[in-house]
Amino acid sequence: MKNNKLVVAQIGCGKFAQSQDLPNIGNHPQLELKWCCDINAGHAAEMANKYGATHSTADFNEVIADPEVDLIKIATTHEVHLPIIEAAAARGIHIFCEKPMAMEITEAYKIIRAVRRNNVKMCVDLNRRMAPSMHALRERWLRQTANPQHQSWRYIETTRPMMAEEDCTNLLINIQDESSSYGMGHMDPLYGGGIIIGESVHWLDLACWFFAPQLPIEITAWGSSRLSHGITLKFNGGDSATLVFSNSGTFDYPKEMYQVSSKAALFQNLFFVENRYWGMPDAQPEFFPLQYDPFTREVPEQGFESYMKKYRLHTERAGDNLKKIENAKPLMVDKGHVGMWNGFIDAILNGKPSPCDEIAGFMSTYLAQLAIQSIELKQTLPVPIEKITPVFV
């Protein structure tokens, strides 16, 4: 540490690093950005100048060799995660890695071994599990399952025991996207691996976090492993999660919606800005602030409809170049990126568990690979316990 701050190096300075990592590092009072590293040396120097780093380089080994570096954030293409992680772990540097942690299972195993042998902390940026609205949704669901509350008018069966199917929970994850939002690098089998590996690891991880300590036991997938697809994941307690991912949608409507049905109640998350609840007495909606909101004066209200008003204002001013205005004046819901940073820094400084450790990173990669196999074989596949609870010597 330097001046009671963790010294950070950003490895990979592309669009995501500029929209999340570099601003979040600069905003954290216990972090000091020293390095910007990118395969484009000129771009690395430009980002260092913009975000206040004192050093830049095109060689990650130069970063790793710096004895002052306490923590790296990796936002490179997927295929180079392993060598960077192994080199950093060997030097005792903590690692925050963009998803997916790895594209292949053997790579994931090697990462787990490197992190654990060198006793460093690892966090994988599967950020949805740290979104404030998702934590509130899960907490409300847990309260309902522990002590079910129902509307007075609801008919309750009292003449027979509840059937097993009636006592289970289903999480429905609906993702609608524009195919043009992903560069062709996401489709390259060597660099991106397709959308299930590159994106759906988010929601596979979210389902595992939501239903923990249950473990997944079965997976069924359909569609295309490259683009639009669906995945159903079943857990050993009887609960299930279903992901429907469509690449033929439009960003005129929010990308992500979540719905939980359980104990004669419905719990709904509307794009991280509003939670709605049905079936329980006095259930009131909850509203959540955006991560970036340039329209608080024009639209001071919170919630889903207010977000839609703000988004329309945002796009109307963009003309034909939305990316340009997004970079200059972003409008962004809170998907948990800041929460993941805060949780990981707390884990490093105070000896707490990582908010999304190497096993969680492995699990999402393993389930994504199983989903791809399920699509190819057109069949349901088991999730063996020995695979998802690996033992390392």
How many domains, the chain?
2
Average pLDDT score, the chain: 93
pLDDT at residue 6 in the model? 98
pLDDT at residue 132 in the model? 98
Q: Distance from CA of residue 387 to its chain's centroid?
A: 22
The reply to whether 120 and 87 lie within a common domain is: yes
Q: Is residue 327 very low, low, confident or very high in pLDDT (cuts 50, 70, 90)? A: low
pLDDT at residue 369 in the model? 97
The reply to whether 101 and 144 lie within a common domain is: no
Kindly state the tokens that stand for 138: 């899960």
The reply to whether 102 and 147 lie within a common domain is: no
Domain membership flag for residue 174: yes
Domain membership flag for residue 386: no
The reply to whether 123 and 137 lie within a common domain is: no
pLDDT at residue 329 in the model? 74
Peptide bond into 382 cis (omega under 30): no
Domain membership flag for residue 382: no
The reply to whether 63 and 85 lie within a common domain is: yes
Domain membership flag for residue 21: yes
pLDDT at residue 157 in the model? 72
Stretch 310-322: mean pLDDT: 77
Domain membership flag for residue 301: yes
Burial grade of 368 (CB within 10 A; 0-12, 13-18, 19 or more) = buried
Q: Is residue 272 very low, low, confident or very high in pLDDT (cuts 50, 70, 90)? A: very high
Stretch 162-168: mean pLDDT: 86
- The segment with the largest mean pLDDT, out of 110-119, 170-179, 317-326, is 110-119
| Distances from the Cα of 28 to the Cα of 150, 241, 302, 340, angstroms | 43, 34, 26, 12
pLDDT at residue 324 in the model? 59
The reply to whether 103 and 185 lie within a common domain is: no
Q: Return d(Cα 348, Cα 64) in angstroms, integer.
A: 18
Range list of H helices, 172-280: 195, 201-211
| Structural element, H or E, at residue 155 | none
Greater confidence (68 vs 253) lies with 68
Q: Is residue 23 very low, low, confident or very high in pLDDT (cuts 50, 70, 90)? A: very high
Say what percent of the chain tops pLDDT 90: 80
Query: Domain residues for 312?
Result: 129-152+160-335+367-376
Domain CATH for 372? 3.30.360.10
Say what percent of the chain tops pLDDT 70: 97
**CB within 8 A of 373, min separation 6: which ones?**
381
pLDDT at residue 173 in the model? 98
The reply to whether 59 and 35 lie within a common domain is: yes
Domain membership flag for residue 390: no
The reply to whether 184 and 84 lie within a common domain is: no
Domain membership flag for residue 197: yes
pLDDT at residue 159 in the model? 82
The reply to whether 124 and 176 lie within a common domain is: no
332-355 residue pLDDT tens: 999 999 999 999 999 999 999 999
Q: Is the entire prediction scored with pTM above 0.75?
A: yes
The reply to whether 94 and 181 lie within a common domain is: no
Q: Return d(Cα 293, Cα 35) in angstroms, integer.
A: 29
The reply to whether 12 and 33 lie within a common domain is: yes
Greater confidence (267 vs 322) lies with 267
pLDDT at residue 193 in the model? 83
pLDDT at residue 228 in the model? 92
Domain CATH for 123? 3.40.50.720
Stretch 115-123: mean pLDDT: 97
* In the predicted structure, residue 179 carries a pLDDT above the cut 80: no
Domain membership flag for residue 342: no
Q: Is residue 96 very low, low, confident or very high in pLDDT (cuts 50, 70, 90)? A: very high
The reply to whether 148 and 222 lie within a common domain is: yes
